[in-house]
Amino acid sequence: MSARNKSGRLLEPTPWCTVGPYFPVTVNDANSVRALAAPGAKGERVRLRCAVFDRDGKSVPDTLVEIWQANADGKYNHPADRQSKPLDASFRGFGRQTTDENGLCEFETIKPGRVPGPRGRMQAPHLEVGVFTRGVLKMLATRIYFANDPANTECPVLSRVPKSRRATLLAQPVADQPGTWRHEIHLSGPKETAFFDV
């Protein structure tokens, strides 16, 4: 659709430009982390497939997805975690992948143990997620929980998310593929993922 200014002159549309970052330039096979858990890692093995979509439901390539999580005993591999629980030398706790041309990326990990939350209440097993994508100048922080986990109903953080939005944080099991979960991240629109202000 064309428009005219007050003098009747035809206005040309300005080109649409996208703000970077452009992750293929900086994130490659050498510094991507697909496997968080080595073969000897303790815990239930999980293959997590993430798919990123825009407000119109179109896949978003070139998005950086980072995940952090506790090990199977519920301890983070970080000095700030002072719990007396053991670390697992076969588990790194951090992953980083860029989405492919179909907006997909995949991680190999284990289901995390429960960690204490506000006032010491135990949280449901979850992964912390950071999303970096074009046109967004600040990391989008969210979480991934596992659908049908009984601990979800008592998680002090998940319970603060409005009921109508909780499903946006739940990875779903993939039929006929034991241990494989799929999680969709919608950047905006009617299915927008619940993001956290951290």
Please indicate, yes or no, if residue 3 is contained in any of the structural domains.
no
- On whether residue 110 sits in a domain, the answer given is yes
Q: Is residue 15 part of a domain?
A: no
The two tokens of residue 19 are 């703000």
pLDDT at position 84: 95
Q: Which of 57, 65, 15, 6 is closest to 36 using CA atoms?
A: 65
Residue 51 inside a domain? The answer is: yes
Structural domain contains residue 182: yes
What is the domain-level CATH number for residue 80? 2.60.130.10
Residue 135's pLDDT is 81
Q: Residue 7 — very low, low, confident or very high, per pLDDT cuts 50/70/90? A: confident
Residue 121 lies in a domain: yes
For residue 163, pLDDT over 70 is answered with yes
pLDDT on residue 136: 84
Q: Are strands 180-186 and 126-132 parallel, antiparallel or unpaired?
A: unpaired
Would you say residue 129 lies in a domain? yes
Residue with token string 């506000």: 118
- The whole-number average pLDDT for the span 92-102 is 95
Residue from 58, 49, 67 nearest 173 by CA: 49
Separation of alpha carbons 87 and 136, rounded Å: 35
Number of domains, the chain: 1
State both tokens at 133: 């994508």
Task: Tell me if 198 is assigned to some domain.
Answer: no
> pTM value?
0.86
- What digits encode the pLDDT tens for the residues 29-87? 777 899 999 999 999 999 999 999 999 999 999 899 999 999 999 999 999 999 999 99
Domain that holds residue 51: 31-186
Q: What angle do CA 114, 119, 123 make, to 5 degrees?
A: 20
